[in-house]
A and B are shown apart, each in its own frame.
Chain A
Amino acid sequence: MQTDTRAPEKGTATTGTRKQPKSGGVLNVFSHGFLALWAIMIIVPLAWVVMTAFKSDDEIFTDPLGLPSQWHWENFTRAWEKAGIGDYFLNTVLVVGGGVALTMLLGSMAAYVLARYEFRLNKFFYLMFVAGMMFPVFLALVPLYFIVDNLGLLGTHFGLILVYTAYSLPFTVFFLAAFFKTLPHGVAEAAMIDGAGHYRLFFQVMMPMARSGLVSVAIFNIIGQWNQFLLPQVLMPGEGNNLLADGIASVAVSQRYDPDFSGLMASMVIAMIPAFVAYVIFQRQIQAGLTAGAIK
């Protein structure tokens, strides 16, 4: 990063010439190199997994780097049938979808009220939510298990959605409250004068105005809930109930008794593909959502 700062770049510099001021040139070579290196660090391992998923177990060990001599599609059928990766995926989508929707609804309701209304326990509730960011989820697990079970929700998607929502509230309330505070008061007052009630004001005026902030917090929550490992592991006992994270973990653990490395790799590829497709389709929206949320 140490470049010659005395050679300011001129706005009029022409393209593609070596006579460019050093700063830009060095930076370009360096940055391109580093960017490319990082891209390789991501693409190569993933490509390797895909390739390995097509090999036989034997070939994986004798020739870890080469292309498969034969494309063993049956690895994928085996992974699909034995491990139920498809079910894990659907379970995950269902729970994360429900969890994020409920998180955003309850989170924005609480955040809105806490940010824009004055009442006696306001500060108390706000701090209670925000303090939750410091609680290690692990600490709550055992009592939480009994609570969920007592509600009759153990092993159900709904139960897990409620738990995901509860544990996403601290972060969500913290950021949305900050966001709601920045929204102009004038609009709200005008709406009230026009006779809109508190509910209409929230759903028809404030929510649309806060859309960008909501989208950006929702993206954080999708990422966070998608990666949950502990909660489903504990709260979704029994076979066929797994989400992706704990499902893959149990496939990996069963390797200890019944090694099937190619099958494991195939399971991983199956798990990766829909995520990849969804990301490529929605990446524009994700970036747009984050862009909008970034300005406050």
Chain B
Amino acid sequence: MASETTPNEAGDLTRRSVLKTSAALGLLAVPAVGLLSACASGGDDGGDDVEASGDAKNPFGVDPKKPLEVVIFPGGFGKDYAEKQKTVYNTNFPEAVVTINAIEDLRAELAPRFQGKTPPDILQNEGANKIPHGELIANNQYHDLQPLLDAPTLDDPNVKIKDILYPGVVESGTFKTTDGSSKFFVLKYTYSMWGLWYSQQLFDEKKWTVPTTWAELMTLCAQIKKDGVAPFTYTGVHTYYIRDMFVTLACRHGGTDVIKNIDNLEPDAWNHPSVLAAAEALYSLKKQGFILGGSEGLDHRQSQARWVKQDAAFIPVGGWLENEEKDILKKEFEMRLMAVPPLDGSVNPQAINAGAGEGYAVPADGKNVQGGLEWLRVMLSAKGREAFGADAGTPTVVKGAKEGLPLEDKPGLKSMVGLLESNGDFAFQAMIGDWYPQFGDGIWGPALGELMSNAKNAAEFVEACQKGADAIASDDSIEKQKR
């Protein structure tokens, strides 16, 4: 790996300064990760190489007695589903002791374990404190998931796993390694979308009709405001919650290429008229008084609570909202999802911001890599999906995943699945924020926040983003991705 650097010099230095390291560095744990792998060797010795055999019962050669540690990020979906998937795993390997740990601050607790070469066998690497996949992949700390794709499904020995996944799933989990090749490292498990949530109950009660265009939405907002409800609230302090409204409007207005050009850091990508149109639309929300007072200072739980209390009509959140707020949501609330309605003159009005999410990976240094792969196979099986669907109420990346979902109990889920079915062919995702977190967190997010709160106008927003994108493009130290 990275042969152009000088491993000897670095190796010596780190061997001197790094010590036996097994414990944690708290929030700042990450810098330690590299040091240890430096000690171990600069080479790619990450774990055993596992290949899928034709054995449908045990394609990866799992040692039936080896324990398995599963780490779950208990954010939007909790961890109950994993407990149920455990029983599926244990039907084939009854002697294996499976431990499921739910960890919120992944960085603090896991970085030292990666560093100490004692990572868990399966990791759901998500949440505000996730360790970027790219960082771990660069150090060969994820195991290649190709064997999983080649393995037969648990339900039908004649069908391979790669054939049951939605298109785009493998692509979204494939990363460039340091030697320039691309491998499939991350299984994104959920198939979900972002959009505007509303309460059908509230709409019925106030006799509002669901808008199909941006102009209709604006008329409706004026009505909503007149009826004493705030049309919108949103999560102001975590600005990535606002991204969806912007990318959906721009993508619908100008087509998918608008987003692709942005992702590919094309010069002037942000100066596209559709980008400006989307920004102006968002800017106008606050200008017209359509936003619940103080939304820019609310975190996601606060803004969602206000929306559940029907203080605001719409809220932009991802597909997990129904599950996240299940403790306070009543069924008669009848939550519904719609994509942000298209601006006038949109060329791609059916586009939805949808795709695979929630990445699971098998750490290369785990004690039970085979078991980790097998666990993913369990997750993708009919029973595994059922367990997830029942608890987490979210479709998975397996085709036809709607079967087994508790659609009748979860009105929000039902409406999302409907949208995924009707508009699935127009699904798109913006990658720039994930590919270049410095841009997403340092430039784009703050600029979006200021656009929403009207501290910046649309032109200033575009200018700030273009400037930031240019800075990424001209920075040689940043590895560029292409789609």
Give the residue name and chain of the B residue nearest to A231 (CB): B26
- Complex Cα distance, B129 from A250, in Å, reads 13
User: How far is the CB of A120 from the nearest CB of chain B, in Å?
Assistant: 31
- A150:B75 contact, CB within 8 angstroms: no
B24 sits at the interface (CB 8 A): yes
- Complex Cα distance, B35 from A80, in Å, reads 39
- A233:B19 contact, CB within 8 angstroms: no
**Contact among A61, A141, A149 for B23, CB-based, below 8 A:** A149
Which residues of B lie under 8 Å from residue A145 when comparing CB positions?
25, 28, 32
B31 sits at the interface (CB 8 A): yes
- Complex Cα distance, B25 from A259, in Å, reads 26
User: How far is the CB of B107 from the nearest CB of chain A, in Å?
Assistant: 11
Interface of A is mostly: helix
Which residues of A lie under 8 Å from residue B305 when comparing CB positions?
61, 259
Within 8 A of A (CB), among B95-118: 104-105, 108-109, 112
Q: How many A-B residue pairs have CB under 8 A?
A: 60
Within 8 A of B (CB), among A117-175: 141-143, 145-146, 149-150, 154-155
- A253:B105 contact, CB within 8 angstroms: yes
Known contacts: A253-B105, A257-B104. The answer to whether A237 contacts B24 by CB under 8 A is: yes
Known contacts: A142-B25, A149-B19, A155-B23. The answer to whether A237 contacts B112 by CB under 8 A is: yes
- B19:A146 contact, CB within 8 angstroms: yes
Which residues of B lie under 8 Å from residue A259 when comparing CB positions?
301, 305
Which residues of A lie under 8 Å from residue B21 when comparing CB positions?
146, 149
B300 sits at the interface (CB 8 A): yes
Chain A interface residue count, Cβ-Cβ cutoff 8 angstroms: 23
- B24:A238 contact, CB within 8 angstroms: yes
- B104:A254 contact, CB within 8 angstroms: yes
**Contact among B24, B32, B104 for A146, CB-based, below 8 A:** B32
**Contact among B27, B112, B299 for A256, CB-based, below 8 A:** B299
Chain B interface residue count, Cβ-Cβ cutoff 8 angstroms: 28
Give the residue name and chain of the B residue nearest to A155 (CB): B23
CB-CB contacts of A238-252 with B at 8 A, as 1s and 0s? 100000000000100
Which residues of B lie under 8 Å from residue A233 when comparing CB positions?
26-27
- Complex Cα distance, B136 from A76, in Å, reads 41
A191 sits at the interface (CB 8 A): no
- B19:A150 contact, CB within 8 angstroms: yes
- Complex Cα distance, B19 from A235, in Å, reads 15
Within 8 A of A (CB), among B4-63: 17-21, 23-29, 31-32, 35
B74 sits at the interface (CB 8 A): yes
B347 sits at the interface (CB 8 A): no
Q: Indicate the member of A143, A236, A238 with the most B CB atoms within 10 Å.
A: A238
Which residues of A lie under 8 Å from residue B26 when comparing CB positions?
233-237
Known contacts: A61-B305, A257-B75. The answer to whether A234 contacts B25 by CB under 8 A is: yes
Which residues of A lie under 8 Å from residue B301 when comparing CB positions?
255-256, 259
- B299:A237 contact, CB within 8 angstroms: no
Give the residue name and chain of the A residue nearest to B35 (CB): A146
B128 sits at the interface (CB 8 A): yes
Q: Can you list 28 contacts pairing A with B, beta carbon distance less than 8 Å?
A: A61-B305, A61-B309, A142-B25, A142-B28, A142-B32, A145-B25, A145-B32, A146-B18, A146-B19, A146-B21, A146-B32, A146-B35, A149-B20, A150-B19, A150-B20, A233-B27, A234-B25, A234-B27, A234-B28, A237-B24, A237-B25, A237-B108, A237-B112, A256-B299, A256-B300, A256-B301, A257-B74, A259-B301
Binding site for A on B (CB under 8 A): 17-21, 23-29, 31-32, 35, 74-75, 104-105, 108-109, 112, 128, 299-301, 305, 309
Binding site for B on A (CB under 8 A): 61, 141-143, 145-146, 149-150, 154-155, 233-238, 250, 253-257, 259
**Top 7 A-B residue pairs of the complex, sorted by shortest distance between their CB atoms:** A237-B24, A150-B19, A234-B26, A154-B23, A259-B301, A237-B26, A145-B25
